[in-house]
Amino acid sequence: MDTEEVKDSQADKQERQPYRVRLPGFISDEDVGFGDVIKRATAAFGIRPCGSCERRAAALNRWLTFTGRHPK
């Protein structure tokens, strides 16, 4: 195996799909990330987002996604 092939296979393992939770009736056709849900909830309480909040939201979005439709 070539070192480039090893790096490519490791990159494929690191970029996995987020877990999907189906919530029909609560979520429309577009997917909503968990980080976006937390961001909306904290904004509703009047907490202003900062730079680390954006990084946290992005990380949570990569981890968990809410969807209202059936998986394809």
At residue 5, the pLDDT reads: 59
In-domain check, residue 12: no
**Residue 69 domain boundaries:** 27-72
pLDDT band at 12; cut points 50, 70, 90:
low
In-domain check, residue 41: yes
- The predicted-structure confidence for 13-71, as pLDDT tens digits, reads as follows 567 888 887 776 666 778 888 999 999 899 999 998 888 989 999 999 999 988 877 66
Nearest of 7, 53, 57 to residue 37 by alpha carbon: 57
In-domain check, residue 6: no
- The angle at the Cα of 21, spanning 19 to 26, to the nearest 5 degrees, equals 145
Domain count, the chain: 1
- Yes or no: say if 66 and 40 are a contact pair by the CB < 8 Å rule: no
Whether this model's pTM surpasses 0.85: no
d(CA 48, CA 31): 24
In-domain check, residue 15: no
In-domain check, residue 21: no
Sheet holding 32-33, edge to edge: 19-22, 64-67, 32-33
